[in-house]
């Protein structure tokens, strides 16, 4: 029979039981909280969530900045057996409303920065029964409003809800490899798995570490860096609610004594461009990268400038965190390293057969942190979750020494700034412009070797939009990272004999668009 296991108790209560309640848990611009203080706040908020009508396994959508409120709400929901669902704060109101309806969320938690968007979205979510508001939120809505500060003054709850390792814990939305938002459903036990595999055995996190992450906590990667790993280890996390900027995070690292720094390749490149001094990260002992492949040249420039090593790895929202990574003292620049202990990998060809070393194929992974599937997405679940194995949708090759190198997407999906981008979504936005007749979006490497969207556009007869106009149009209707970095105007798209767009030809052309001179696109 299953033994009770609640991830909130694993992350908090066990430290108190060991006598570590006075250790620092959270720090940053909002102040400090010890483990004892955080547990008290979580227990009181747990009581408040019950009082607001949230029941076990019901969803609580979190549209929140990285803050003590975020950590408190997430852990309090786990504590009562409910399902917190952190979502991107880059969403527009219609996108947030879609996720509220899809998740059938009963409560929506929001911090002040995003209150206006949240309230507009809440009006289109009929199953919501209330909104939880952070400090300073002043909005008008017909739904009951619950101030998080008031919830945190309720009587502390008793023991955590009787969950098990396999009980539903939290959801994380991903566009993944099929392009539409899907909620990957994670178990309570997965939190312990990712900490005891990557956190302990690869990252080597210690109780005296202080973690700072450029990736926000609504990402699977950021959630691990900001909440799961530091709290599991009894370490501290540095919370930064504002958008991540190189100079801001360098200052937070200095002020709050960061020892572990997490980011993606795009942010590492931005830090070099910001011309930060060499001593800017003097207290950091190690960095980690994920979200997209880290080019070898970028790795070398970063380590030579800051003197801090980077462990590049790959994770997926569906796997919760990193399952393939380089190791400290054994980094092979340009590769993604070797499997994290506890995970198995295989590379298969199009027929599903294993390929020999040196032969590209699609990467599959097996491990105990795999999500149980996608919420209400039967076909997508069957496509990605194949028995014990999960199809990553990435093309990889393994060398004779066992190191894995990413060659790109197996399908047409691409990643920009470490986040999945559906070409169809960007194409739909472009086609909404009256001057655009046809649009195709592909990925292209920029000067740092990082993948970004490039749009190929056929304009309507008599129309003459500018490149800047179309990029701004996309920026207004999509999160900024999804906007095309360049727009290439063509008379016609290259097509096959059956009329299908030859994306492979556009990708080949796009290889020089962001890093070299333009070439002519010839329709065929």
Identify the H or E element spanning 130: strand 130-133
- By DSSP bridging, strand 436-445 and strand 322-325 are unpaired
- Quick one: which of 487, 522, 518, 483 has its CA closest to 505? 522
Query: What's residue 403's pLDDT?
Result: 98
The predicted-structure confidence for 439-453, as pLDDT tens digits, reads as follows 999 999 888 889 899
Domains and CATH numbers, the chain: 1-164 (3.40.50.980), 185-411 (3.40.50.12780), 422-510 (3.30.300.30)
**How many residues are recorded in the chain?**
524
CB 333 within 8 Å of CB 296: yes
Largest CA distance in the chain: 74
What backbone phi and psi angles, to 5 degrees, belong to 132?
A: -95, 125
What is 133-184 written as a DSSP string? E-TT-----SS-EEEHHHHTTSPPP-SPP--BTTSEEEEEEE-TTTSS-EEE
CA distance 206 to 400: 33
Question: Residue 102 pLDDT more than 70?
Answer: yes
At 304 the three-state DSSP class reads helix
Highest mean pLDDT among 188-192, 264-268, 349-353, 420-424: 188-192
What is the average pLDDT score of the chain?
93
CA distance 63 to 66: 10
The predicted-structure confidence for 44-74, as pLDDT tens digits, reads as follows 999 999 999 999 999 999 999 999 999 999 9
- Quick one: which of 10, 12, 313 has its CA closest to 191? 10
Question: Residue 228 pLDDT more than 70?
Answer: yes
At 296 the three-state DSSP class reads helix
Residue 173's DSSP bridge partners are 183
CB 298 within 8 Å of CB 325: no
Mean pLDDT computed over 367-381: 97
Query: What's residue 211's pLDDT?
Result: 98
CA distance 336 to 438: 37
End-to-end CA distance of the chain: 64
Identify the H or E element spanning 393: strand 389-398
Query: What's residue 523's pLDDT?
Result: 45
Query: What's residue 1's pLDDT?
Result: 54
Mean pLDDT computed over 335-356: 96
The predicted-structure confidence for 186-216, as pLDDT tens digits, reads as follows 999 999 999 999 999 999 999 999 999 999 9
Three-point CA angle 361, 448, 418, nearest 5°: 60
The predicted-structure confidence for 125-163, as pLDDT tens digits, reads as follows 999 999 999 887 777 778 999 999 999 899 999 999 999
Residue holding tokens 């994306």?
Answer: 503
- By DSSP bridging, strand 286-289 and strand 260-263 are parallel
HSE on the CB side for 495, CA within 13 Å? Answer: 9
CA distance 341 to 367: 9
CA distance 334 to 136: 46
Model confidence at 496, pLDDT cuts 50, 70, 90, reads low
Residues 6+ apart with CB under 8 A from 235: 205, 206, 207, 208, 209, 210, 211, 229
CA distance 71 to 65: 10
The predicted-structure confidence for 447-494, as pLDDT tens digits, reads as follows 888 989 999 999 998 999 999 999 999 999 999 889 999 999 999 999
Query: What's residue 439's pLDDT?
Result: 92
Rounded to the nearest 10°, the torsion over CA 56, 223, 314, 301 is: 180
User: pTM of this prediction?
Assistant: 0.86
CA distance 311 to 170: 27
CB 155 within 8 Å of CB 44: yes
Question: Residue 34 pLDDT more than 80?
Answer: yes
Query: What's residue 141's pLDDT?
Result: 78
Q: Which two tokens stand for residue 316?
A: 């997926």
CA distance 328 to 36: 33
Query: What's residue 524's pLDDT?
Result: 39
Mean pLDDT computed over 325-342: 97
Residues 14, 19, 22, 28: is their CA dihedral positive or negative?
negative
CA distance 268 to 294: 9
CB 318 within 8 Å of CB 370: yes
Query: What's residue 518's pLDDT?
Result: 47
Q: Which two tokens stand for residue 189?
A: 């036990």
């Amino acid at each position: 029979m299953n033994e009770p296991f609640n991830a909130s108790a694993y992350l908090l209560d066990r430290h108190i039981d060991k006598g570590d309640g006075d250790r620092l848990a959270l720090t940053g611009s909002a102040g400090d909280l010890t483990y004892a203080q955080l547990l008290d706040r979580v227990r009181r908020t747990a009581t408040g969530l019950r009082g607001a009508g949230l029941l076990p396994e019901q969803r609580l959508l979190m549209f929140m900045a990285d803050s003590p409120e975020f950590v408190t709400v997430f852990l309090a929901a786990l504590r009562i057996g409910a399902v917190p669902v952190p979502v991107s704060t880059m969403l527009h109101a219609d996108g947030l409303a879609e996720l509220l309806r899809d998740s059938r969320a009963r409560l929506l938690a929001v911090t002040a920065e995003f209150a206006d968007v949240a309230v507009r979205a809440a009006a289109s979510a009929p199953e919501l029964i209330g909104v939880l508001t952070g400090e300073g939120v002043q909005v008008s809505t017909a739904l009951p409003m619950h101030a998080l500060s008031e919830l945190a003054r309720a009587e502390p709850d008793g023991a955590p809800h009787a969950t098990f390792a396999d009980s539903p814990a939290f959801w994380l939305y991903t566009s993944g490899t099929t392009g539409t938002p899907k909620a990957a459903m994670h178990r309570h036990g997965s939190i312990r798995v990712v900490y005891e595999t990557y956190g302990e055995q690869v990252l080597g996190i210690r109780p005296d570490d202080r973690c700072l992450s450029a990736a926000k906590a609504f990402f699977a990667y950021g959630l691990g860096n900001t909440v799961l790993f530091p709290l599991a280890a009894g370490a501290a996390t540095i919370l930064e609610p504002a958008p991540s900027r190189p100079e801001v995070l360098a200052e937070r690292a200095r002020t709050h004594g960061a020892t572990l720094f997490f980011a993606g390749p795009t942010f590492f490149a931005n830090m070099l461009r910001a011309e930060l001094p060499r001593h800017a990260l003097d207290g950091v002992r190690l960095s980690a990268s994920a979200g997209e492949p880290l080019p070898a040249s970028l790795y070398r420039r970063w380590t030579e400038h800051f003197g801090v090593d980077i462990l590049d790895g790959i994770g997926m929202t569906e796997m919760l965190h990193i399952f393939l990574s380089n190791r400290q003292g054994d980094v092979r620049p340009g590769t993604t390293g070797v499997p994290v202990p506890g995970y198995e990998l295989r590379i298969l060809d199009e027929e599903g057969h294993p390929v020999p070393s040196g032969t590209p194929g699609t990467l599959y992974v097996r491990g105990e942190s795999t999500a149980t599937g996608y919420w209400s997405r039967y076909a997508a679940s069957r496509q990605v979750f194949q028995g014990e194995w999960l199809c990553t949708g990435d093309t990889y090759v393994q060398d004779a020494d066992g190191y894995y190198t990413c060659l790109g997407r197996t399908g047409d999906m691409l990643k920009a700034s470490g986040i999945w981008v559906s070409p169809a979504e960007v194409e739909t936005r472009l086609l909404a412009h009256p001057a655009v007749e046809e649009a195709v979006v592909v990925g292209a490497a920029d000067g740092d070797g990082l993948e970004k969207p490039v749009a190929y556009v056929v304009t309507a007869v008599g129309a003459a939009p500018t490149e800047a106009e179309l990029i701004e149009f996309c920026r207004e209707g999509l999160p900024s990272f999804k906007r095309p970095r360049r727009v290439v105007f063509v008379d016609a798209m290259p097509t096959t004999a059956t009329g299908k767009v030859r994306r492979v030809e556009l990708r080949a052309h796009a290889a020089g668009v962001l890093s070299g001179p333009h070439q002519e696109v010839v329709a065929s």
